[in-house]
Amino acid sequence: MYEFAPDMARPKAELYGELAGAARALVEGEADVVANMANVAALIWQFVPQLNWAGFYRMIEGELVLGPFIGKPACIRIPLGQGVCGTAAMCGATKLVPDVHAFPGHIACDAASRSELVVPVMRGGQVIAVIDLDSPEPERFDTEDAAGIERLAQVIAASI
């Protein structure tokens, strides 16, 4: 059994380093991708405050399909180029959105969401999934959050 106790008083960079280390410990040696994504979603929820949704969309046959998450029920399929997740997947680049209502084509699965961070998970130069974080706080995410989740995506890419 794993027990992680993040110190929320630590600087963000250190906290995200701890998150990446915890994720590495959980996915190392486990071949089941769903179990790995579920555990990583739970870790994100534990380590990153002020979220109302945290989880994965998987790239399947050219579209994003809902994966393990924590939060309210969500959209099941997202075409590439649509919403924040579909845009991040199509571009293969992180999308940090301070105000989702100002993002053209935003897909609102939870009306309480005000800001969003989406990071592609890449393997072999291809997007295999995205990590999606939503917050009810406007401007919740910054470049440190983006860098921390990008590091997490690199750590888990071979295991999901």
Q: pLDDT by residue (tens digit) across 27-49?
A: 999 999 999 999 999 999 999 99
Overall domain count for the chain: 1
Give residue-wise pLDDT tens across range 50-75: 999 999 999 999 999 999 999 999 99
For residue 87, give the CATH number of its domain: 3.30.450.40
Q: Helix/strand/coil (H, E, C) string of the chain?
A: CCCCCCCCCCCHHHHHHHHHHHHHHHHCCCCCHHHHHHHHHHHHHHHCCCCCEEEEEEEECCEEEEEEEEECCCCCEEECCCHHHHHHHHHCCCEEECCHHHCCCCCCCCCCCCEEEEEEEEECCEEEEEEEEEECCCCCCCHHHHHHHHHHHHHHHHHC
**20 part of a folded domain:** yes
Task: Please give the model's pTM, rounded to 2 decimal places.
Answer: 0.95
User: Would 7 be classed as within a structural domain?
Assistant: no
Residue numbers of the domain that contains 47: 12-159
Output the pLDDT for position 5. 81
Residue 1: inside a domain: no
Give pLDDT tens digits for 86-134: 999 999 999 999 999 888 777 777 778 999 999 999 999 999 999 999 9
